[in-house]
Amino acid sequence: MKKKITMTLATGLAAALGATILFQLPVRQAQAAEGESTGLSFLTYTADGKIVRPEPSLYRKWVYVGTPLTPNDMNDGEASFPEFHAVYMDPISFASFEKTGVYPEGTVLIKELSAVGAKEASSGTGYFMGEFTGLEITVKDSVRYKDEPGNWGYYSFGHKYPLKDEATMNRTASCNACHEKTAANNAQNLSKDWVFEQYYPMLSAARAALKKK
Amino acid sequence: MKKKITMTLATGLAAALGATILFQLPVRQAQAAEGESTGLSFLTYTADGKIVRPEPSLYRKWVYVGTPLTPNDMNDGEASFPEFHAVYMDPISFASFEKTGVYPEGTVLIKELSAVGAKEASSGTGYFMGEFTGLEITVKDSVRYKDEPGNWGYYSFGHKYPLKDEATMNRTASCNACHEKTAANNAQNLSKDWVFEQYYPMLSAARAALKKK
């Protein structure tokens, strides 16, 4: 009897979820049509809208798009984003970006931070990666972030291990504002969207290759 | 009639190639058995042993393992390897490495160089990627590089565009020597091989995950 109730509850829940999904589909389809794909399937959200921290086994095989570096020793001892920022793009959205030059609905960009581990090596003086220290995510979703500039949401799991298991969306002013400003600077090419594409040659090269076609 | 001749020629060619492959199999299989896989299939060699420069569409979707940085402005105006070194590992060998902690026969590592494009951005002061400038490859192959320390061969397509279409193997002293020294430094863990694994947290993390299993 107990089992039956559980199953009925589960069926009811599935039906309710199904209804919600059906209800949302027209919007999602309209958005997906523009950019062809969605990388959202890679992420898990909690019921109250937090993102569950993805395992490294997910994103470390995504498409690498570049590594800005803001070392602590060049930022008064403590960079806002310490220190190497390795950025990955989900492969579904990258495949779409390669074809269209547009960051499609559902684009997921993951920034994995690592500390400077050394400044001298056989190859010269510079900055060499050390331990992983942080993880951040940005997602483009016109449904979930309909009130956010550019429809991007920004999340941080922290800049120091152990990382948070779940992250709440950052306030608009703390991340989106700088990215929005970039978009304004990129006004001559709005498809660059909220992305600092100028620091990611893998992305600008994909765009340049598209223009040649 | 013409079609038939073409087909016969094609069949004969396939048979000849088949014979060559069969002939080489015992050696290759013996090597592959140690590390399970070979990434060699990704590369094209000329008859005289040069490597044909691979297209970015090949390696830019490989597994990213890290980005050392040796800026010109920290190396008397001209770094030996200017400046960002984004390093990728072929996915077949990475999958094997994840399981065994060994760089298998046929491992291909590609280093794509890019210039420093900016030193100030919204995220702080530091180094931000600019244009692509160079491409280098290293391959582990105990057949082809049987006389090279560690059985690694090192190639450079140049540090300035346009890159060379084909690259000859570098002299042992110019690349392998530094890598060999690393191997000696890593003597407590010989599986780190000729790779500067200490600067690639993605690789050390894969190794650490393996130890936990």
Contacts of A118 in chain B (CB under 8 A): 198-199
**A164-168, A199-203, B131-135: segment of lowest average pLDDT:** A199-203
Nearest to B132 among A61, A70, A201 (CB): A201
Question: When comparing pLDDT for A63 and A194, which is higher?
Answer: A63
Instruction: Give the mean pLDDT of A190-196.
Output: 77
**pLDDT of A32 over the 60 cut:** no
- Tell me the nearest-neighbour CA distance from A179 into chain B, angstroms: 9
Could you tell me if A110 lies within 8 Å of chain B, comparing CB atoms?
Answer: no
**Which H helix or E strand runs over B126?**
strand B124-140
Q: Does residue B82 contact residue B115 with C-beta atoms inside 8 Å? A: yes
Helices then strands, counting H and E runs in chain A, come out as 5, 7
Q: Which helix (H) or strand (E) holds A10?
A: helix A2-35
- Which of A175, A212, A213, A195 shows the shortest CA–CA distance to A66? A195
Q: How far apart are CA A155 and CA A145, in angstroms?
A: 12
The pLDDT of A178-188, averaged and rounded, is 70
* Distance of alpha carbon A78 from alpha carbon B39, whole angstroms: 41
Look at residue A26 and give its three-state secondary structure. helix
Taking only the tens place, the pLDDT of each residue in A77-102 is 999 999 999 999 999 999 999 999 99
Q: For residue B182, what pLDDT is reported?
A: 74
Token pair of A50, please?
């937090």
Of A64, A74, A128, the CB nearest to B68: A128
- Give the Cα separation of B54 and B42 in Å (integer): 8
- CA separation for the pair A55, A53 (Å, rounded): 7
Q: Over 60: is that where the pLDDT of A10 sits?
A: no
B94 vs B100: CA distance, rounded Å: 10
For residues B210 and B200, what is the distance between their CA atoms, to the nearest angstrom? 16
Between CA A101 and CA A204 the distance in angstroms is 9
Q: pLDDT band for position A172 (50/70/90)?
A: confident
**For A71, which residue in chain B has the nearest alpha carbon?**
B126
DSSP output for A45-87: B-TTSPEEPPPHHHHTTSEEEE--B--GGGTTT--SS-SEEEE
Question: How many residue contacts between A and B have a Cβ separation below 8 Å?
Answer: 136
Do B75 and A199 make contact, defined as CB atoms within 8 angstroms?
A: no
How far apart, in whole angstroms, are the C-alpha atoms of residue A65 and residue A98?
12
B196 Cβ under 8 Å from any chain A Cβ? yes
User: Looking at this predicted complex, what is its ipTM?
Assistant: 0.80
**Of residues A199 and A18, which shows the higher confidence score?**
A199
Using CB atoms and an 8 Å cut-off, which of residues 1-40 of chain A contact chain B? none
pLDDT by residue (tens digit) across B25-44? 333 444 444 444 578 889 99
For an interface test with A, the pick among B62, B67, B203 (most A C-beta atoms closer than 10 Å) comes out as: B67
Q: Does A58 touch chain B (CB under 8 A)?
A: no
Question: Does B196 sit within 8 Å of A122, measured CB to CB?
Answer: yes
User: Scanning every residue of chain B, which has its alpha carbon at the shortest distance from the alpha carbon of A89?
Assistant: B61
A210 touches chain B (CB under 8 A): no
Single-letter amino acid, residue B151: N
Which of B60, B76, B90 to mutate: most A Cβ within 10 Å?
A: B60
Amino acid code (one letter) for A163: L
Asked if A125 lies within 8 A of B75 by C-beta distance, the reply is yes
Do the beta carbons of residue A95 and residue A132 sit within 8 Å?
Answer: no
Average pLDDT, chain A: 82
Interface of A with B in 38-57 (CB under 8 A): 56
What does the alpha-carbon distance between residue A53 and residue A48 come to, in Å, rounded to a whole number?
15
Low-confidence ranges of chain B (pLDDT < 70): 1-37, 184-191
Peptide bond preceding B83 in cis form (omega within 30 of 0): yes
Supply the pTM of this predicted model: 0.81
Closest of B94, B105, B91, B102 to residue B33, by C-alpha: B105
Tokens 């030193």 belong to B119
Nearest to B178 by CA among B70, B92, B32: B70
Q: Does B122 touch chain A (CB under 8 A)?
A: yes
What stretches of B1-83 adopt beta strand conformation (E)? 51-52, 63-66
pLDDT tens digits for A100-143?
Answer: 999 999 999 999 999 999 999 988 999 999 999 999 999 999 99
Report which of residues A181 and A198 the model is more confident about. Answer: A198
Closest Cα in chain B, distance from residue A46 (Å): 27
What's residue A1's pLDDT?
34
- In contact, A84 and A72? CB cutoff 8 Å: no
Tokens 């450079």, residue located:
B156
Q: Hey, which residues does B164 pair with through a beta bridge?
A: none
Out of B69, B81, B130, name the one closest to residue A127 (CB).
B69
Alpha-carbon distance B121 to B66, whole Å? 21
Of A45-54, A178-187, B16-25, which range is least confident? B16-25
At residue A38 the predicted structure's pLDDT band, cuts being 50, 70 and 90, is confident
pLDDT of the residue at B210: 86
CA distance A69 to chain B (A): 5
pLDDT per residue as tens digits for the range B168-187: 999 887 777 777 777 766 65
- DSSP letter, residue B186: T
* Residues of A (125-144) whose Cβ lies below 8 Å from B: 125-132
| Residue A202: closest C-alpha in chain B | B60
- Whole-angstrom distance between the N-terminal and C-terminal Cα of chain A? 64
Interface list for B 64-83 with A (CB within 8 A): 64, 66-71, 74-75, 79-81, 83
Q: Which residues contact B137 (CB under 8 A, 6 or more apart)?
A: B43, B51, B54, B108, B109, B110, B111, B154, B155, B156, B157, B167
Q: Which of A191-195, A198-202, B45-49, B190-194 has the lowest mean pLDDT?
A: B190-194
Put simply, the answer to whether A122 touches B74 (Cβ < 8 Å) is no
